[in-house]
A and B are shown apart, each in its own frame.
Chain A
Amino acid sequence: MSGVASRAGAAHLHVDWTACEGRGLCAELLPGVLDLDPWGYPLPTGDGGPRPRWSREAGLPVPPGAVPDARRAVRMCPRLALRLQEDGARPPGRGISGRGVSGRG
């Protein structure tokens, strides 16, 4: 999943799950994009439908109108766990581990 088709005019939000501690500022600053799970960790909003999966490789698409808020969320995250990959930038990472498969060689 490269997310190329959705990249025009949008940005992609990436989360470092090992840094995130569920402080919840991101969901407050991006109410249309993120909710919180029962333990306070960010969850993509479903907009009434099924929740999109937060792709490890492509990140979560952020609508153009929410990009300034997303930048603020990245800056304000107390754990610096968020990264915003904006239009035109190289995709941050495509690993060998496919969906749900832990590569062990």
Chain B
Amino acid sequence: MTTPTASRPAPAPPAALLDPRGRTRPADLPAHLHRFGPAPAAPAEAVLAAARAAGLRGCGGAWRPTAAKLEAVAAASRRRGRRAVAVANAAEGEPWSTKDAALLRTHPHLVLEGLQLAGRAVDADRLLVHGHHGPALEAVAAAARERDGADPLPVRLVTVPRAYVSGQETAVARAVEGGPALPRPRPRPDGVPLAGGAPVLVQNVETLARLALAVRGLAQPGPLVTVCAPDLPPTARELRPGATVSDALAAVDPGLPGRAGAVLVGGCAGTWLPAAACLDRTLSPEGLAPVGASPGAGVLLVAPRGTCVLATTATAVRHLADSSAGQCGPCWRGLPALADLVEDLAAGRLRDGGLAALHRAVGLVDGRGACGHPDGAARTVASALSAVPDDVPAHLHGSCTEGGRP
């Protein structure tokens, strides 16, 4: 938990980051300062200590401890004798995730402060915001203009295409260099991406907002999630600390937990779990690891009872196939082939021999590429097959146990 500073007790947080009804109206600088208080002039060590004390972890999907990451980049900077670049990653490539956009459109100043603090922690001389065209980035730009002259470093905005891989760390580093936002072939030995020789700190915007709260000694809010379903557009919500999957679903629609048949935890490259297996699991890596899942970027796709999990999986895998960076053969060849087979299975066109082909297709993409993109697709398909074990044989005979039209 957090350690409150001597002069300021930590208030129990009401919805600190997102509006409970999903309204987004960017807080201007005076409103921001009124709500959260002045930004503390914390030196690098204090920023690291705050991140460590709050137990901050990355909110972009990998959940890497923030303090460790800041230290790694700072160490790389000292070792290479080059000032670092700190990037706020707003490239929410996950198609069903809207929490980062919602956060940026509500509290852009919190994110920008977090970026300044992170920059200080790694002794950066350049600050960037990496995102897609749209209202979220505009909100950041407006907030940055409002802060004119108030911060130690100016902020530049980098726009990248709305592609799934654009937000991947090495893709961000490459875009910082002026190249395309595509992943690099090999991770570096220390895990720190480089842009033109300079170490790059890539931090998700939610992580930065949390850092700004931590440095102020404020308590961390619960997880930010995006919930969607076939009849429900992606809806971002903030939950109480320690919330479960059921809490997340109920925050959007109180009846949703009761209607859920299965949940795709982690987005279109996540893990399918039967509702009974996950509804009362805490939305954290520790809470979900025992059932073989991870919260990822906090996306929960619900397949209500009566919805065909395999059909939803087919849509997800097709999206992943279309989003391949096209750099690695096994991915851009293998994912469309996998998507074809999953679509055939979902539509009831696959016969018994086809299931073996489907398993083979999963094996042909798993781990074969420069980044984890194909691995995610493999995971989604494999988990779908084991989440609905009775539905698979039904589909092989042309019907669907959920009553959905195959």
Contact = CB atoms under 8 A, between A and B. Distances in A.
Do A and B have CB atoms closer than 8 angstroms in the complex? Answer: yes
Interface of A: 14, 16-22, 37-41, 43, 51, 53-57, 90-105
A54 B188 contact: no
B350 interface: no
Interface string B87-106: 10101010000000000000
Contacts of A17: 185, 327-331, 368-370
A51 B327 CA distance: 23
Interface stretch (B163-171, B232-240, B252-260, B311-319): B163-171
B26 interface: no
Which 4 A-B pairs give the minimum distances between C-beta atoms? A95-B187, A100-B375, A104-B60, A96-B191
Contacts of B133: none
B394 to A, nearest CB: 28
A95 B204 contact: no
B187 A96 contact: yes
A103 B72 CA distance: 15
Nearest to B100: A104
A56 B186 CA distance: 8
B375 A99 contact: yes
Contacts of A22: 329
Contacts of B294: 101
Interface residues of B, number: 54
A97 B330 contact: no
Nearest to B191: A96
Nearest to B187: A95
Nearest to B167: A104
Given A93-B187, A103-B62, A104-B60, A20 B329 contact: yes
A69 B367 CA distance: 24
Nearest to A101: B62
B132 interface: no
A53 B367 contact: yes
B373 interface: yes
Contacts of A18: 184-185, 327-328, 370
B55 to A, nearest CB: 17
A54 B328 CA distance: 14
A102 B203 contact: no
